[in-house]
Amino acid sequence: MLIFAASDKGGTGRSVTSCNIAYHLSMQRNDVAYLDFDFGSPTTGAIFEISKVERGTEQNGLHSYVEGKTNTPHQVDVLANSDRAGLRAPPSRAGSSCCPATRAARSSPTSPRRSSAA
Ligand SMILES: Nc1ncnc2c1ncn2[C@@H]1O[C@H](COP(=O)(O)OP(=O)(O)OP(=O)(O)O)[C@@H](O)[C@H]1O
Ligand SMILES: [Mg+2]
């Protein structure tokens, strides 16, 4: 199952809603991958409270993958790396990971419009 969250306007709640959906699907023992295509303002790490990718990742983010610069985008296990204790000790140890956007990609001329990302 693929779920896309897109809007032509920022600040409409895509990231928060998407993270909530990902979390609840993982609690139902689904393997979930959250892909943050917001290259202008990546917030996945902040919402899941993963400090090392709070503002995206420096290398091998999704932008690098889309451009063919890496075959393996940076992936972070949310349940293992979140600073939030409640996320690290879920009722059932379901799989949940996220792929943050590349922080350095913000100024790239090939970056998709910010409005197309979650
Ligand atoms: N259901 C909700 N009720 C109240 N506030 C919300 C709700 N969903 C999101 N918000 C708030 O609205 C703001 C924007 O939410 P969010 O970052 O998810 O939007 P976005 O569409 O991903 O925006 P961005 O363009 O910044 O990526 C945040 O401050 C968030 O806390
Ligand atoms: Mg967002």
Residue identifier of the C-alpha nearest atom 6 of ligand 1: 13
| Cα–Cα dist 33/111, whole Å | 22
Closest-lying ligand to the alpha carbon of 47?
Answer: 1
Model confidence, pTM: 0.77
Q: Per residue in 5-53, pLDDT tens?
A: 998 888 999 999 999 999 888 888 888 999 999 888 889 999 999 999 9
CA distance 117 to 104: 16
- The residues, ordered by sequence, that sit 6+ positions from 32 with a Cβ below 8 Å of its Cβ are 22, 25, 26, 94, 95, 96, 97
